[in-house]
Amino acid sequence: MIREVKLQDAKAITEIYNEYVMHTVATFETEPLQEDVMRSRIAEISAHFPYFVYEINTEVVGYCYAHTWKEKDAYKYTLETTVYLSPAHIGKGIGKLLMQKLVGECRRQGYHALIACITAGNEASNSLHRGLGFKQVSHFEKVGLKFGHWLDVIDYELVLN
């Protein structure tokens, strides 16, 4: 079931996200987050933008949201997207369902474009976004350093209207 996020989801979201922080290069954050920090982030983002979770038997197993891409006013119709799944639920179509819901809601709210910033080599995320109609629009080389390795970032764009 997909539903809007609640602040009570902060614990589950923190646990999912910290798996990526500690063990992958999917996020460039390098230190695990505390639940209160995640709760603040959820409150701030969900107050202004779409934010959804995927539940199985009341357990949050994935989430996605849209947020400000750039701060300047001319960018206000373009959002950046984020999606994370519990490692045990990858490859089951949940990410696609979450992102379809997010894209639909962003379109309904009148946004014009969505940007997905993906670490190069993350083929699951690349495939997900291409399957949703996102097109690669950039490739930045060696812009992040994590686990002692320089990492590239690829941007994908989906024009909504």
Are residues 118 and 156 in contact, defined by beta-carbon separation less than 8 angstroms? yes
Structure tokens at 98: 């979450």
Are residues 135 and 100 in contact, defined by beta-carbon separation less than 8 angstroms? no
Instruction: State how far the alpha carbon of 103 is from the alpha carbons of 30, 93, 98, in Å.
Output: 28, 15, 9
Amino acid (one-letter) located at 154: I
Question: 2-159 — its CATH code?
Answer: 3.40.630.30
Structure tokens at 16: 């999912």
Amino acid (one-letter) located at 90: I
| CA 146 and chain centroid, separation | 19
pLDDT band of 61, cuts 50, 70, 90: very high
Predicted TM-score (pTM) above 0.75 = yes
What single-letter DSSP state applies at residue 13? H
Instruction: Output the average pLDDT for the chain.
Output: 97
Strand, coil or helix: 26: coil
The answer to whether the Cα torsion of 146, 149, 155, 156 is positive or negative is negative
Mean pLDDT of 10-28: 97
Domain map (residue ranges) of the chain: 2-159
Q: Which H or E element spans position 86?
A: none
> How many residues does the structure list for the chain?
161
Report pLDDT for 161.
83
List, for residues 95-142, the tens digit of each pLDDT value: 999 999 999 999 999 999 999 999 999 999 999 999 999 999 999 999
Please list the residues that pair with 156 across neighbouring strands. Answer: 116, 136
Are residues 4 and 52 in contact, defined by beta-carbon separation less than 8 angstroms? yes
